Amino acid sequence: MLSLAENALMVLAVVGLSVLLFVVIDKVWPWDKRHQHNDVTGWQLGILGTTYAVILGFMLYAVWTEFDNATQNVEMEANSLTNVYRLADGLPEATRIEVQNLTRTYAQKVIENDWPEMEQGRTPVESVGLASKIQHALISVTDGSRSVGVAQDHAMTELSAMTTCRRTRLLENQLSLPAVLWCVLIVGGVLTIVSSCMFGSQNRFLHGLQMVFFSLMIALALLAIADINKPFRGSVHVGNDAFVRALENMK
């Protein structure tokens, strides 16, 4: 994914190319000749622009919804891990120490390993083994008292919720918009900008200024979709703050 500086350069490149396209079309096809066809290009531009705006808005809403879901999923994973740590107080001493040490180690590994690896597009594997060790420690409890059984049962439930959230997090890190949708977004943006250049206006400065604003809006929207589409990568991403807070609570 692009950094903030690369995003800024990309926006400038799109705006610059749009202005260059406008200048070239204005030289090849002067405004007075284009003006004769405004009654046709005008309504076509209106329909094309409206259609593309709906598509762009829908895509932005869809990726933002997925980004918000990823944020909530990380919070739930960290909360479940903290609950396992607290429920371990109801287990026998040896098991309590083991489970609480493993939960703290899990939070540390997620912060130190999972997030850097997900940012690089890789699938973390080390924390999977820790979750299995926590499960084994809980299952191996032999104390048959009612209080220990309740604590063990609730801890297993929270551990199951945590592992489910973890699998969802790793899946969200791999998913992205299909190539066909990116094709629709990019081709639609190009067609919309070209169509706006074809409109004939006597005030070329005002027309060019409108082209700058138009291309700037499209470029910003597309880059926002590209950044938010990968919730754990890029300049805008879901952070590991939930696990940092969980680790502080455990300490």
Rg of the chain over all Cα atoms, to the nearest angstrom: 27
Q: Is the pLDDT of residue 221 over 70?
A: yes
**pLDDT of 145-200, one tens digit each?**
888 889 999 999 999 999 999 999 999 988 888 899 999 999 999 988 888 877 76
- The dihedral over CA atoms of 191, 194, 198, 202, expressed in degrees to the nearest 10, equals 130
CB-based contact 215:18 (threshold 8 Å): yes
Give the per-residue pLDDT at 41: 65
Give the number of other CB atoms < 10 A from CB of residue 46.
Answer: 11
Q: What percent of the chain has pLDDT over 70?
A: 92
For helices 179-197 and 204-229, what crossing angle results, to 10°? 170
* Lowest mean pLDDT, pick from 157-161, 216-220, 232-236: 232-236
Whole-Å CA distances, 121 to 1, 52, 60, 115, 192: 10, 30, 22, 10, 33
Residue showing tokens 């609950």: 83
Q: What percent of the chain has pLDDT over 90?
A: 47
The residue range of the domain holding 20 is 4-250
Q: Is the pLDDT of residue 100 over 90?
A: yes
50 — pLDDT class (breaks 50, 70, 90): confident
Q: What total of structural domains would you count in the chain?
A: 1
* Lowest mean pLDDT, pick from 7-16, 59-68, 74-83, 155-164: 7-16
CB-based contact 31:200 (threshold 8 Å): yes
CB-based contact 134:159 (threshold 8 Å): yes
Q: Is the pLDDT of residue 237 over 70?
A: yes
Q: What is the mean pLDDT of residues 15-29?
A: 83
CB-based contact 99:245 (threshold 8 Å): no
Q: What is the mean pLDDT of residues 21-41?
A: 72
Residue showing tokens 């700037």: 216
Torsion sign over Cα 207, 213, 216, 221: negative
Give the per-residue pLDDT at 48: 82
30 — pLDDT class (breaks 50, 70, 90): confident
CB-based contact 211:22 (threshold 8 Å): yes
Alpha helices, DSSP H only, in 4-92? 4-28, 31-35, 38-87
Q: What is the mean pLDDT of residues 24-41?
A: 71
Torsion sign over Cα 55, 60, 62, 63: positive
Among 33-37, 66-70, 247-251, which range has the highest average pLDDT? Answer: 66-70
Give the per-residue pLDDT at 24: 86
Q: What is the mean pLDDT of the chain?
A: 87
- Record the pTM: 0.82
